[in-house]
């Protein structure tokens, strides 16, 4: 389907939802004794889609959907959950907060890609760019660990975000037999050379195409670090079209295949119904 048509539909859906009453004043949101938001209580009452709704919570507790592998020999048939806790730091600006696109990306990848438990000694190699709090990487790592899939995830951002990334990775590090998660610095277009190109099976990013950041440097880093079969998943929140156009034009010249899928009511039926979020997919590095 045409990308601008999909985006027009998303904008219309968002405008309709925005007209509904604000549920944040309602007592529906539940917290832990430490004041951490239980995200499930937000999802149960989701009416509006303002990404800034969570800024005043010091941390958010997410349920990660995972296949039920017990007993280990049976095929995954149902889901069980594990939880992750993501701390925020408002002082760090946008990167210090969690964004809907990040939760949606973690859930989308873990529920739509068919990962099979690997017997091979080489783990799936995954790189996240512009990770902010690290939510998408941490979600995916928890999913892959419970799914018993060997994986190595590198979660990256600018130097100023590294302490928060490290804090969140440490807070969610449990016994890990299958999935390793490593926080690191990667500034797009600047220190790509610190990472070995060609080695990533997946390159992912959530809400990293906006007016604030350089879409050309981002596309260049993705291209440098991808190989011919790398799959690139970038979730976005449709805001200013011009930056998406610049990013997609740059990516379309570097990858053979590209698709876009909308989330929410019109597309992938994830738990967060934010209609303004979509996922760009690229593969086939030129
Ligand atoms: C809107 S935040 C999204 C954070 C997180 N992915 C999420 O969705 O919750 C965008 C992130 O991109 C990062 N970023 C912006 N420009 C960057 C650059 N040149 N190199 C690396 N990261 C960058 C920011 O530091 C910030 O963490």
The ligand 1 site (C-beta within 6 Å) comprises 94-95, 98-99, 101-102, 130-133, 135, 157-158, 161, 187-188, 206-208, 213-214, 217
- What is the mean predicted confidence (pLDDT) over 154-159? 97
Residue 14 has pLDDT above 90, yes or no: no
Closest ligand 1 atom to residue 217 Cα is 19
Spatial distance between the Cα atoms of 168 and 84, rounded to a whole number of angstroms:
9
pLDDT of residue 55: 86
Q: Give the tens place of pLDDT for each residue, 64-94.
A: 987 766 554 455 555 667 899 999 999 999 9
pLDDT of residue 85: 97
- The candidate with the shortest Cα–Cα distance to 186, out of 239, 231, 133, 130, is 130
- The candidate with the shortest Cα–Cα distance to 104, out of 258, 270, 230, 219, is 270
Residue 1 has pLDDT above 60, yes or no: no
Q: Give the tens place of pLDDT for each residue, 192-213.
A: 788 888 889 999 999 999 888 9
Q: Which of 130, 237, 239 to mutate to test the pocket of ligand 1 (most atoms within 8 A of CB)?
A: 130
Residue 242 has pLDDT above 80, yes or no: yes
CATH, range 3-22+95-285: 3.40.50.150
pLDDT band at 44 (very low <50, low <70, confident <90, very high): confident
CA 42 / ligand 1 centre spacing (Å)? 24
pLDDT of residue 127: 97
Closest ligand 1 atom to residue 187 Cα is 20
pLDDT band at 261 (very low <50, low <70, confident <90, very high): confident
State the pTM of this model.
0.89
- What is the mean predicted confidence (pLDDT) over 218-243? 92
Spatial distance between the Cα atoms of 265 and 273, rounded to a whole number of angstroms:
6
CA 95 / ligand 1 centre spacing (Å)? 5
- What is the mean predicted confidence (pLDDT) over 246-260? 93
């Amino acid at each position: 389907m045409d990308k601008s048509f999909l985006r027009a539909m998303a904008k219309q859906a968002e405008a309709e939802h925005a007209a509904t009453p604000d549920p944040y004043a309602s007592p529906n949101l539940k917290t832990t004794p430490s004041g951490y938001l239980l995200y499930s209580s937000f999802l149960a009452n989701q009416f509006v889609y303002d990404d800034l709704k969570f800024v005043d919570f010091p941390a958010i507790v997410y349920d990660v959907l995972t296949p039920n592998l017990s007993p280990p020999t049976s095929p995954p048939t149902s889901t069980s959950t594990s939880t992750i806790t993501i701390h925020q730091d408002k002082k760090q600006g946008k990167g210090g907060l969690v964004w809907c696109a990040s939760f949606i990306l973690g859930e989308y990848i873990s529920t739509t890609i068919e990962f099979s438990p690997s017997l091979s000694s080489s783990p799936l190699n995954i790189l996240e760019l512009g990770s902010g709090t690290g939510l998408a990487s941490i979600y995916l790592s928890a999913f892959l660990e419970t799914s018993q899939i060997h994986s190595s995830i590198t979660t990256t951002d600018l130097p100023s975000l590294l302490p928060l990334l490290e804090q969140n990775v440490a807070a969610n590090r449990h016994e890990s037999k299958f999935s390793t998660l490593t926080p690191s610095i990667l500034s797009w277009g600047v220190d790509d050379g610190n990472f070995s190109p060609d080695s990533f099976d997946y390159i992912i990013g959530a809400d990293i195409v906006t007016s604030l950041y350089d879409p050309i440097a981002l596309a260049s880093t993705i291209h440098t670090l991808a190989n011919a079969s790398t799959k690139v998943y970038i979730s976005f929140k449709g805001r200013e079209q011009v930056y998406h156009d610049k990013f997609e034009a740059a990516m379309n010249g570097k990858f053979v295949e590209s698709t876009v899928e909308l989330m929410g009511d019109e597309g992938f039926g994830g738990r967060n119904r934010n209609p303004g979020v979509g996922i760009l997919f690229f593969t086939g590095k030129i």
